[in-house]
């Protein structure tokens, strides 16, 4: 069970922590000016979650996150459903299609998965292949 899916009745403090995190991440991905960055939001969320569990609080059916799943090449497994949802809401810049290939572009995670970014449509953007290669070098 995802921590942010916990019902308010089962874990009000946990629910509030996750709701604040999700709200800030959505605002940032939609270009709403905030006095923070993705990295700061993620860091604050991680600290709040750690403090929550160190305090002995646990919601029914929830356990702290486990290490991310990786494929046979050691890369973080991506959600095809999340990518498809992103593409459906954000047509390909070169073809206008909402599914299939997008020549010259890739779906990029704004806040990288390796840095704790969500594999969710609100954390995705179209990026040119050239820009993606340059970003991957950093």
Residue 6: per-residue pLDDT = 40
Reported as a single tens digit per residue, the pLDDT across 66-89 is 566 777 877 788 888 989 999 999
**pLDDT value at residue 118:** 84
Q: What is the DSSP track for 96-122?
A: --SSS--TTEEEEESS-GGGT--SSGG
pTM for this prediction = 0.50
Helices (H), 6-127: 12-29, 38-54, 80-89
109 φ, ψ to 5°? -90, 125
Name the stretches of the chain with pLDDT < 70. 1-15, 32-35, 38, 45, 49-68, 138
């Amino acid at each position: 069970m995802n921590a942010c899916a916990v019902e308010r009745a089962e874990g009000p403090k946990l629910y509030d922590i996750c709701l604040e995190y999700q709200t800030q991440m959505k605002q940032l991905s939609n270009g709403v000016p905030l006095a923070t960055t993705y990295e700061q939001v993620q860091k604050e969320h991680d600290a709040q979650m750690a403090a929550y569990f160190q305090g002995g609080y646990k919601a029914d059916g929830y356990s702290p996150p486990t290490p991310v799943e990786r494929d046979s090449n050691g890369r973080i497994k991506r959600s095809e459903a999340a990518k498809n949802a992103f593409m459906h809401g954000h047509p390909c810049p070169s073809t206008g299609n909402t599914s299939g290939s997008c020549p010259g572009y890739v779906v990029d995670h704004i806040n990288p998965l390796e840095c704790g970014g969500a594999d969710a449509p609100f954390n995705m953007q179209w990026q040119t292949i050239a820009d993606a290669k340059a970003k991957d070098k950093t």
